[in-house]
Amino acid sequence: MAMRARLLPVLGPQGFIDVAYWDWQGPPGAPVVVCAHGLTRNGRDFDILAAALSKQFRIVCPDIPGRGRSEWLPDGKDYSFPFYLQVAAALVARLDVPEIMWVGTSMGGIIGMLFAALPKNPVRRLVLNDIGPLLPQAALAHIVEAVGADPVFANRQELETHLRAVHAGAGPLTEAQWRHLAAHSARVRGDGRLALAYDPKIAEAMRALPAEDVDLWSFYDAIQCPTLVMRGSESDLLRRTDAEAMMRRGPRARLIELQGIGHAPALMADDQIDAVRAFLAEG
């Protein structure tokens, strides 16, 4: 199915901003799946997954504000989860459907978890890709350090080399898949050099977190829809013990562990796509 680039004006803390999203239409009347990306990533990460799933679903992949083609916020402190929930609600309103399914990688999974915990929420099935309700402080500190660096690159090959190092945990991607990520991961700075396609100010909200684990169990325990957790066996952000607890608490998630992969599985490999498709198709 063909993909369409769309814009949605969303009311932010200091006025309206444009939020970009990528809309894979799917068959007429198909169930809607929203795919939300990680902290520094964008909706084009899901192109391969969306192309496969759009044979039976409508797939909508937003660029969360401050990433990809969405606008940046004037104040970095406004990059907050309450605002991201407003964006999610506005997107669902634009789609004009009574219910959705949600696939979230890392930060996108946190947004989905919080959204699915709200009263009268529209989420009917939830996929959490290498994220859970307990965020270890050590892993968060590493993420904050990386996000705050804002590296620059002389060309796309340098950028791709950087992505291969930083996102090595995504799994054994093909050459074409790495090129795809690199093609959609760059912004051009005023000096003509390349940087990563996100607002460096997103690190400000992360730095404001207390130097301790972030506990979101109360939100997870409020989720009632069927939930699938996908975990990279080498992940430091979703620990095995926490993933196992997710099977016992709240929605009693189903767990799939991907061997030899860290944070976060790219959802590009056939077995990962098949697992997501099978779970969503149950609904």
Alpha-carbon distance 230 to 119, whole Å? 25
Q: Exposure of 56 by Cβ count < 10 A (0-12 exposed, 13-18 middle, 19+ buried)?
A: middle
Is residue 189 one of the residues assigned to a domain? Answer: no
Judge contact between 222 and 249, C-beta under 8 A. no
Q: How many residues are present in the chain?
A: 283
Is residue 146 one of the residues assigned to a domain? Answer: no
Is residue 78 one of the residues assigned to a domain? Answer: yes
Is residue 151 one of the residues assigned to a domain? Answer: no
- Percent of the chain whose predicted confidence (pLDDT) is above 70: 100
Alpha-carbon distance 100 to 110, whole Å? 16
For 175, which DSSP code? H
Across the range 178-197, mean pLDDT stands at: 94
Alpha-carbon distance 58 to 49, whole Å? 12
**56: its two tokens:** 């039976």
Is residue 192 one of the residues assigned to a domain? Answer: no
Residue 222: strand, helix, or coil? coil
Given this model, what pLDDT does residue 143 score?
87
Q: Structural domain tally of the chain? A: 1
How many CB atoms are closer than 10 A to CB 2? 8
More confident residue, 178 or 149: 178
Query: Dihedrals φ, ψ of 168, to 5°?
Result: -60, -30
Alpha-carbon distance 226 to 224, whole Å? 7
Domain that holds residue 106: 3-136+215-281
Q: What is the pLDDT of residues 31-86, one digit of tens each?
A: 999 999 999 999 999 999 999 999 999 999 999 999 999 999 999 999 999 999 99
Confidence of residue 144 (pLDDT cuts 50, 70, 90): confident
Give the per-residue SS3 of 87-139. Answer: HHHHHHHHHCCCCEEEEEECHHHHHHHHHHCCCCCCEEEEEEECCCCEECHHH
pLDDT at 196 over 80: yes
Is residue 125 one of the residues assigned to a domain? Answer: yes
Is residue 261 one of the residues assigned to a domain? Answer: yes
Please report, for the domain that includes residue 257, its CATH number: 3.40.50.1820
Confidence of residue 1 (pLDDT cuts 50, 70, 90): low
pLDDT at 96 over 90: yes
Q: What is the pLDDT of residues 222-268, one digit of tens each?
A: 999 999 999 999 999 999 999 999 999 999 999 999 999 999 999 99
More confident residue, 181 or 190: 181
Residue 153: strand, helix, or coil? strand
Q: Which of 109, 4, 111 is nearest to 60 (CA)?
A: 4
Across the range 106-110, mean pLDDT stands at: 98
Confidence of residue 2 (pLDDT cuts 50, 70, 90): confident
Across the range 161-174, mean pLDDT stands at: 94
